[in-house]
Amino acid sequence: MTSPSSHQSLLDVQSLQVAFPGAAGDVRAVDGVSFTVEQGETVCLVGESGCGKSLTALSLLRLVPPPGRIAAGSHIHFDGRDLLSLDEPSLRSIRGRQMAMIFQEPMTALNPVLTVGDQIAEVVQVHTKRSRRESWDDAVAMLAQVGIADPPARAKQYPHELSGGMRQRVMIAMALVLSPRLVIADEPTTALDVTIQAQILELLREMRERTGMALLLITHDLGVVAEMASRVIVMYAGRVVEEAPVDALFANPSHPYTEGLLAAMPRLGQEQERLTTIRGSVPPLGALPSGCTFRDRCPHAFDRCAVEEPVLYQVGPAHRARCHLVQEPERRTDVNVTANRVERAS
């Protein structure tokens, strides 16, 4: 848990649990996750698919798909308000207006039968007293801000008439049109080619600098983290396993899982004949090993790891890792966490 203080974070998540009913009782897909996001900062939530990062994001908007549910004892405060106790109308007024989400695949998030201008204008009309005409003008102005050429004409087009990169710009325009204080972006560039990815990330960074919004960026890509993050939260099997300022994480990764993610990251300008992967795969949530949940994949695992679940140990200022090696560094072996290597697809 983040230590209590009189300082109020923009977003404060404490002991978040998301549970799904399973044959042998509840399975916790998100298990005791705590973190904060401050006004104007970019925090990256990182991990492989299935680690709980997208569910964590959906929880913030209370959009966990049933039969999943946010379990009792979870706390989510946004700007001092307890989101889990709000009624639906109050929550709707926060969603979109103060906290907005950008999804991975704009084609599924945009309405195919409405023009993109109408979709952005609708967001304005639902949340403000702006007239239809004013909302349309806001939509066109926002399309210009996200770098879409000839916005009056583009606003009259349907999503299928735009390229993937342009659709993602429309999603960003829709998320930002009401100047929210927090934007949650779930793998916003995954479906795009590399050049467009870089442009979209640059746009998000620019918009953050221009508006002062905070950005919670969910990604499996440590290249994106290096470009964007001020702080990083690494998740594995529904838990936070490491959190650190971005420089500290890259300079001194302290959880073997983070080390594995870093070793698997392709490096620009370095000829790599092979890419590394972390050996093994994420265990099913209903069948996690005792002690440390990363134990089956960890080359450093020792007897204590099987019997005692690690907590988040302090590594340095604002840097914590859920690994017994922080307390017993002499137990570290010479074996690299990325024991399996795969040929790079050319």
> Rule CB under 6 A: which residues touch ligand SF4?
255-256, 292, 294-295, 298, 300-301, 305, 310, 323-325
Q: Whose Cβ is closer to ligand SF4: residue 93's or residue 281's?
A: 281
Q: Across the chain, where does the E strand assignment appear?
A: 11-22, 25-37, 42-46, 69-70, 75-78, 81-82, 99-102, 182-186, 214-219, 231-236, 239-245, 274-277, 313-316, 319-321, 340-343
Measured CA angle at 178 (ends 176, 179), to 5 deg: 65
Return the number of other C-beta atoms located less than 10 Å from residue 246's C-beta.
Answer: 19
Q: Residue 85, exposed/middle/buried by CB under 10 A (0-12, 13-18, 19+)?
A: exposed
Shortest distance in whole angstroms from residue 248 CB to ligand SF4: 18
Residue 99 CA to residue 96 CA, distance in Å, equals: 5
Of 143 and 292, nearer to ligand SF4 (C-beta) is 292
Under 8 Å between Cβ of 233 and 45? yes
In whole angstroms, the minimum distance from the beta carbon of 135 to ligand SF4 comes to 51
Nearer to ligand SF4 among residue 20 and residue 257 (C-beta): 257
Helix (H, G, I), strand (E, B) or coil at 260: helix
| Distance in Å, CB of 280 to ligand SF4, minimum | 12
User: Of 318 and 335, which has the nearer Cβ to ligand SF4?
Assistant: 335
**Smallest gap from residue 241 Cβ to ligand SF4 (A):** 8
Which is closer to ligand SF4, CB of 251 or CB of 335? Answer: 335
Min dist CB 225 to ligand SF4, Å, is 20
Tell me the three state secondary structure of residue 26: strand
Tell me the closest approach of the beta carbon of residue 296 to ligand SF4, in angstroms.
Answer: 8
Phi, psi (rounded to 5 degrees) for 259: -60, -40
Q: How far is the CB of 30 from ligand SF4 (least distance, A)?
A: 19
User: Is the Cβ of residue 158 or residue 302 nearer to ligand SF4 in the bound state?
Assistant: 302
User: Closest CB to ligand SF4 among 164 and 289?
Assistant: 289
At its nearest, how many Å lie between ligand SF4 and the CB of residue 166?
A: 43
Sheet holding 319-321, edge to edge: 99-102, 182-186, 214-219, 42-46, 231-236, 239-245, 319-321, 313-316
Closer residue to ligand SF4 in complex, CB, 44/278: 278
Alpha-carbon distance 32 to 35, whole Å?
10
Is the four-CA dihedral 154, 155, 156, 162 of positive or negative sign?
Answer: positive
Query: Which residue, 220 or 295, is less far from ligand SF4 as judged by CB?
Result: 295
The least distance separating ligand SF4 from the CB of residue 301, rounded to whole angstroms, comes to 4
- Tokens describing residue 197: 């990815």
Give Cα separations from 85 to 55, 65, 74, 78, 268 (angstroms): 19, 18, 11, 12, 47
SS3 1: coil
Query: Do strands 42-46 and 214-219 pair parallel, antiparallel, or not at all (unpaired)?
Result: parallel
